[in-house]
Amino acid sequence: MLRFWPIWVLLLGGLFYWGLQRPNPDELKSVLVGRPAPTFSLPLLAPYRPTFGLEMGIGERLEKPVLLNIWASWCIPCRTEAPLLERFYRQHKDQILILGVNVQDREADALKFVQQYGLTFPSVFDGRGRIGIEYGYYGVPETFVISREGTVLARHAGELSEVQLRAYLEQVLR
């Protein structure tokens, strides 16, 4: 057996290299990537109704690409992410729609959150988090990038940065 030591070294080295090349185990891959986004329509939070109507959601075809952002008022990373999303939405609202889904929350707390950060991108209310489960979410915040054709292009678990938002925008406009 020891005569074949170069083969053993190569095998172990190969295994080690493969282990290093594997994607980050903390990265949560969504089974929805490349598949049609689950469709839904939910009531909008009151401040958005005059502009966007009573309900909003994801249909089979979309007017523009969507960043579906799942959030809750009790979630601390959502609080740091909210001003960034608002700024990004104001800059790129002609190219992309940011649609918030408020989950596992009380409507009054969600409204307070929206008012506190002056969020102009629409958010729907899903108190029990049913749509979150439809999208296979793990927690908040979580963002799904959906193309105009209604296909899920990416899922981002956790807080977004400006660089990541720009990369997703490029990906969706490609």
Partner 1 sequence: MTKPDQPRSTYITTAFWWLLLLTFSAWAQPTPNTPPPDFSPRVFEIARELRCPVCQGESAAESNAGIAVEMRRIIAEQLAQGRTEAEIRQFFVDRYGDWILYQPPVRGLTLWVWLSPLVGLALLGIGLWRYLARVRAQAQATASDVSEEEIARLESELSQTPER
Nearer to partner 1, 86 or 134 (CB): 134
Strand-pair category, 55-58 with 66-71 = unpaired
In sequence order, the β-bridge partners of residue 142 are 70, 157
Q: Are 42 and 124 in contact (CB under 8 A)?
A: yes
Nearest distance from residue 86's CB to partner 1, in Å? 25
Q: Which is nearer to partner 1, 35 or 93 (CB)?
A: 35
Dihedral (CA of 137, 62, 126, 170) sign: positive
Phi (first) and psi of residue 10, to 5 degrees: -65, -45
Instruction: Tell me how many degrees the CA angle 147-91-28 measures, rounded to the nearest 5.
Output: 45
Q: Minimum distance from CB of 104 to partner 1 (Å)?
A: 4
Q: Smallest distance from the beta carbon of 79 to partner 1, in angstroms?
A: 18
Tell me how far, at minimum, the Cβ of 17 lies from partner 1, in Å.
17
| Residues forming the site for partner 1 (CB under 8 A) | 1, 29, 31-32, 103-104, 128-130, 132-139
Look at residues 80, 71, 88, 58 and name the one whose alpha carbon lies nearest to residue 152.
Answer: 58
Beta carbon nearer to partner 1, 33 or 173: 33
Q: Please, which residue, 12 or 173, has the CB nearer to partner 1?
A: 12
Positive or negative, the CA dihedral 46, 143, 84, 108 is positive
Please, which residues bridge with residue 44 across strands? 124
Query: Among residues 89 and 135, whose Cβ is nearest to partner 1?
Result: 135
Smallest separation, CB 138 to partner 1 (Å): 5
